[in-house]
Every structure is written in C-alpha cells, then in structure tokens.
Amino acid sequence: MGARDRVRRGIPLAVLALGVAAGAFAAPAKHTVTIEAVKYDPPTLTVKQGDSVTWVNKDPYPHTVTAAGAFDSKEIGADRKWTYVARKPGRYDYICTLHPNMKGTLVVEGAPAKASPGR
C-alpha cells in the first residue's frame, strides 16, 4: 500500500475522531429565568459551569438579582434583561434587594471530568 492509500484510509478515521472530540466539549447552554408577578420562575435553576442565565423582567417595575458576594444585576428595569455566566460551581441563593420577599436559587454544577486515555 502506497503513501497515498494510507492517507486516504486515514482521513475517515481523523474525521471520526474530530467528531467524537467535539461531542465531548458541548457548547455552553443558555437558560432563562422570568421575573413576573414579583417572583422568579423557575425559583430554582440548575446549570452547568460555563452556562449563561438570563433574567427577563416582565413586571412594570425594576427588580434585582443579587447573591451576596457572588453576583448583582443592579436594577433591571421593566422589559429589560440581565445575563450572568456561571463560572464557579456552587449553590447561590439570591434575592431582589428592592423586594426581599423575592427569592431564588441558582445551582452551578462543575464541569464533567475528562476521561483519561486508556481508561
């Protein structure tokens, strides 16, 4: 078998390997929390590290999304939105500082462990 034949036979395997590798690193997901009727919906959201969460305010007045020491949207006006990228795993209980009875929880799961070669 000549060099050209070896290259031709190797191309499908290389393409297959790239496809498998791409599947192992899925793009971050996008999630939405709706703020309406003075509540967060869903009240608890679980995401993966690297995912983004967008809070959309459908109330006619401002709200915040504030987890002390972790993130703070500042005021999100009526018909406005704010997006946060979940970079650090953990549980984040948050409130609206303007309406402290509004409570939500964001759970960020760590990135999946990468498989070791030969295992």
Domains of the chain by residue range:
30-109
pLDDT tens by residue, 63-116: 999 999 999 999 999 999 999 999 999 999 999 999 999 999 999 999 765 545
Q: What is the pLDDT of residue 67?
A: 98
pLDDT value at position 13?
47
Residues 6 or more apart whose Cβ sits within 8 Å of residue 5: none
Q: Provide the 3-class DSSP secondary structure of residue 33.
A: strand
Residue 17: what pLDDT? 44
**Residue 118 pLDDT level (bands cut at 50, 70, 90):** low
Model's pTM, two decimal places? Answer: 0.75
Tell me what pLDDT residue 5 has. Answer: 58
Asked whether residue 6 carries a pLDDT value surpassing 60, the answer given is: no
Residue 104 pLDDT: 98
| Homologous superfamily of domain range 30-109 | Cupredoxins -  blue copper proteins (2.60.40.420)
| Helix, coil or strand: residue 9 | helix
CA-CA distances (angstroms) from residue 52 to 100, 112, 113, 118? 24, 17, 20, 33
**What are 10-52's pLDDT values in tens digits?**
545 444 344 444 445 679 999 999 999 999 999 999 999 999 9
Q: What are the beta bridge partners of residue 53?
A: 31, 84
Peptide bond before residue 42 is cis, with ω within 30 degrees of 0: yes
